[in-house]
Each structure stands twice: as C-alpha cells, then as structure tokens.
Amino acid sequence: MEEQKVLVTGGAGFIGYHLCKKLSTITSNLTIYDDLSSGKIENVTDVPLATFVQGNILDLKTLCGLPKQDLIYHLAAQVVVPYSMENPLIDFETNAKGTVCVLEKARQDDAKVVFASSAAVYGNPSVFPTPESYGFHPFSCYGLSKIVGEQYCQMYREQYGLDIVITRFANVYGLRCHGVIHDFLDKLAKNPDKLEIIGTGQQSRDFVHVSDLVEALITVGASDRFNGETFNLGIGKTTSILELADLILSILELKDRTVITTTNQSWQGDVTKIWFDIGKAKQELNWIPKVTLEDSIREVIADRKISL
C-alpha cells in the first residue's frame, strides 16, 4: 500500500478520520473526499499529510476529475436511520446512487474498492450471532439503501472485473464519535441525577472500537486475497443499552445517584439486537478485536474531562 494512491470518501467523518490518520502513516498519496455535510474540517486538518478535496459523491464530474487512484475506501453515506425513514429519497440518492458514482470512479481508474456496509442489511435477524450468510432482511430505508450499494458493488465486480471487498460495520465507537455513549455522557453532564434511555433499553448492540475496525480495513485494503468477500466487523458479543448505561454509571460512580428512565418507544426502523458472528474475519483476516467497551468509555470520559 506504500506506493498506492488511496482515496477515502467520507474521510472527514468519525470513522474516516481514524482510518485516514492510520493511512497517512502508510502512504504519502492519500486523498480525503468529503462534502463536510456531516464530517468536520478538524478531522481533515488533523491529518495534515493528506490532500483534501471538498466534494459530494453525487458530483461525478468532480469525483472522476480526481487523479487516478489505486484503492478507494467508500465510507461516505447517510447513516441516520430515523432520517432515512423520514427522507427515503435523499437516503437512496446518497447511499445507492452515490455508491454507483464512486464505482464509476473506480471503473475509470481500475481501482480496488472497500465498501462500508452495515448491520442494518440484516434487519431484525433470527439467528445469533449473525453470520454473513444470513441474507438481506432490511428493516429500514437505510438498511435497504446499503443493500443496493452492496449489490452494485457485486455487479461491478462481476461485470467490470473490479476488485471489491464489502465490510459490514456493527456499532462503531471511540473518540470523536457521536453515538449512544456520547449521548449518555452529554445527558449526565447536564443532569447526573437522571438518565433517559430512548426505547425500552432492552435493545442491544455489538460495539466495536474504531481502532479495531481500522485495523481490519487496512488488512482488506492491503491484500489482494479478498476480492468478492464480505466481512462482519464487530466485537462478536452483544450489550444491551441498559447494560451500557449501567457500565457508564459504574465508571462515573453514579449508580447510587442516577435514576434511569426509558421512553419505551423507539424510532421507526430501529432494530432489536445486533450481534455479529465474526468467525470469518478472525479466520481469514487473522483479526481479533482488542479494545474493551469499559476501557474505551474510560478513555472517552478522560478525553472529555468529565467530572461529576
């Protein structure tokens, strides 16, 4: 990968930042492509060795006008499930049509593509832990748009001979992330006496640390052995939102003080349980997630200088 030209769409986002930070230590030919609609400019400036191009993946002229690339990590996406249910056309444009635009750039350059898909393609599975072979059962417009993206990737691989790897992300967390962990910490910082959980709290997720995810992404990007393969990237266990809240309160020493409440009503398209079977990634990528949820929460609390 040292001599390759690497493009990361959505490189100004949370995962994109961590991936680009690592890639910038490997290659001197790294380009970040992002329209900054949800990504942050500090995530770009903090990777000073990369070239930044502000652009939308739907802008095919700008995208295909970039220098020839060898490897494309396609992370740019609309990732908010409730938004996808309220705005299915915009979600489809970004995630489905946008992916085709990126694939057109790859076809023009004969570049390898690593596509970032999601646990949302499984919907509410009946098999746990859920393997890659489970199939598509979307429960949200977001999940459906990711399936369309995956299918286009496979079509371009079969019909145009592109080298493509699909990676399905579980719930990725870490520094600079804006997910349920940060949501809980924000609420507790405002009022440590009460913590409200959206939904029942019984919904559970497979939480994987961004550093572990990046390690897997680097592995599939650097090797030519995984063309056409799909990999679940999670930690291989599930944690309920109530268990997560309890862990955070324990770390902050608030268990005897904070009252947990639930709304008992989740958002449209929300799934009940995510629990990945990561046996394939372990075996074929020799990849084993290392960061524990507790260690990372302590890291985030220290970074945010939270004291209650």
In this structure, what token pair is assigned to residue 79?
């990732």
Closest CA to 167 of 149, 141, 155, 144: 149
The pLDDT score that the predictor gives to residue 1 is 87
- pLDDT tops 80 at residue 307: no
The pLDDT score that the predictor gives to residue 248 is 96
Taking the alpha carbons of 21, 31, 1, 226 in that order, is the dihedral positive or negative? positive
Kindly report, residue by residue over 16-38, the tens digit of the pLDDT: 999 999 999 999 999 999 999 99
Report residue 209: phi and psi, to 5°: -75, 145
Q: What is the CATH number assigned to the segment(s) 6-172+207-233?
A: 3.40.50.720
Average pLDDT value for the chain: 96
Kindly report, residue by residue over 173-199, the tens digit of the pLDDT: 999 998 899 999 999 999 999 999 999
- pLDDT tops 90 at residue 265: no
Which whole number is the average pLDDT over 215-222? 98
The pLDDT score that the predictor gives to residue 308 is 61
The pLDDT score that the predictor gives to residue 304 is 84
160 is catalytic: no
Level-2 CATH architecture, domain 174-205+237-269+291-304: Alpha-Beta Complex (3.90)
Catalytic residue among 33, 73, 142, 173: 142
Which whole number is the average pLDDT over 244-269? 94
Confidence of residue 240 (pLDDT cuts 50, 70, 90): very high
Kindly report, residue by residue over 113-169, the tens digit of the pLDDT: 999 999 999 999 999 999 999 999 999 999 999 999 999 999 999 999 999 999 999
Nearby residues of 305 by Cβ (< 8 Å), 6 or more positions away: none
Q: Where are the domains of the chain?
A: 6-172+207-233, 174-205+237-269+291-304
Between CA 41 and CA 96, with CA 75 as vertex, the angle to 5 degrees is 120
